[in-house]
């Protein structure tokens, strides 16, 4: 067992919440901004298949896990399953007549299929790297909520709930990786995770940029202008991929663990809000 794990008081559990996403139908739901909407729609389109792959990646190692980690994995799978479900709903609301949604979904499916063919360990490595990315974006979401200003309440809540649970479970796949590779040398583990991150960083940022640019073309942008606008959004302002560079690079520290960055205090209010939503639903 590695020395560092998900903290004992972080209880990873699915919150079965459904959101009323109708306000996202057909339009630029992100505050009327076509570029931001394209980027977040591109992310959303990768979630259902991507998150199912994450679930299967950890599920494969379930038999080797015990105690809190086994419980956390159960919670991780529950959370990602509900994320997939709700993002699927959002994805259905994108105007398919206008936007090349089917084309993007097919591209995502193809990537995930290729990833699955590389076997369970490669899937787990991709999962821990992508989970680091989502945790970084969730952290940025917490620090810069202004991006979601002017967004319909339930659509805003969907993204905030997702960001909150991504933070909560940010180390679960990583903890699985550390447990099932405990027989590896520290150098091998480090090398594998550094290489995986480098590859995932390249692929993930490139793919999201491409998908978002394709969506933006349907809004009337030329291919060049679409690509330029999306790149400015993700790398400059607001800098969805670049703003969290400190958190991103922490990955390359030997001995890194996702909870080295302890954001439990920052998470507390959101957690209370969504815990209450689940309780209210059950009542």
Which residues of the shown chain bind Fe ion in the complex (CB under 5 A)? 80, 83, 166
| Cα 171 from Cα 228, distance rounded (Å) | 34
| C-beta of 82 vs 229, nearer to Fe ion | 82
| C-beta of 133 vs 221, nearer to Fe ion | 133
Q: How far is the CB of 227 from Fe ion (least distance, A)?
A: 27
| C-beta of 84 vs 181, nearer to Fe ion | 84
CA dihedral 233, 237, 129, 154 (to 10 degrees): -80
Q: How far is the CB of 112 from Fe ion (least distance, A)?
A: 14
Q: How far is the CB of 162 from Fe ion (least distance, A)?
A: 6
| C-beta of 49 vs 166, nearer to Fe ion | 166
Q: How far is the CB of 283 from Fe ion (least distance, A)?
A: 26
Which residues lie closer than 8 Å to 66 by C-beta, 6 or more apart? none
| C-beta of 129 vs 152, nearer to Fe ion | 129
| C-beta of 16 vs 219, nearer to Fe ion | 16
| C-beta of 221 vs 241, nearer to Fe ion | 241
Q: How far is the CB of 95 from Fe ion (least distance, A)?
A: 24
Q: How far is the CB of 76 from Fe ion (least distance, A)?
A: 7
Q: How far is the CB of 147 from Fe ion (least distance, A)?
A: 18
Residue 283, Cβ density class (10 Å: 0-12 exposed, 13-18 middle, ≥19 buried):
exposed
CB-CB neighbours of 247 under 10 Å? 20
Which residue's C-beta sits nearest to Fe ion?
83
Q: Which two tokens stand for residue 2?
A: 């590695």
């Amino acid at each position: 067992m590695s020395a560092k794990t998900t903290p004992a008081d972080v209880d990873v559990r699915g919150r079965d919440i459904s959101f009323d996403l109708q306000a996202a139908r057909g339009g630029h739901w992100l505050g009327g901004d076509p570029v931001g909407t394209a980027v977040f729609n591109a992310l959303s389109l990768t979630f259902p298949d991507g998150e199912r792959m994450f679930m299967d990646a950890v599920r494969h190692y379930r038999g080797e896990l015990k105690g809190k980690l086994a419980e956390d994995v159960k919670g991780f799978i529950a959370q990602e399953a509900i994320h997939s479900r709700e993002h699927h709903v959002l994805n259905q609301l994108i105007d398919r007549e206008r936007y090349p949604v089917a084309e993007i979904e097919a591209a995502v499916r193809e990537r995930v299929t290729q990833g699955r063919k590389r076997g369970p360990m490669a899937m787990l490595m991709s999962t821990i790297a992508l989970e680091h990315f989502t945790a970084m974006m969730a952290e940025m979401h917490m620090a810069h909520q202004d991006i979601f200003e002017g967004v319909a309440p339930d659509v805003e809540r969907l993204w905030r709930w997702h960001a909150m649970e991504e933070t909560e479970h940010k180390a679960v796949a990583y903890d699985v990786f550390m447990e099932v590779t405990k027989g590896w040398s520290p150098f091998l583990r480090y090398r594998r995770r550094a290489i995986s991150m480098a590859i995932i960083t390249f692929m993930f940022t490139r793919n999201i940029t491409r998908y978002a640019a394709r969506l933006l073309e349907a809004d009337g942008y030329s291919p060049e202008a679409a690509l330029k606008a999306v790149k400015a959004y993700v790398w400059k302002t607001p800098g969805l991929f670049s703003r969290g560079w400190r958190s991103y690079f922490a990955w390359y520290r030997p001995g890194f663990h996702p909870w080295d960055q302890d954001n439990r205090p920052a998470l507390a209010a959101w957690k209370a809000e969504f815990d209450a939503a689940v309780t209210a639903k059950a009542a």
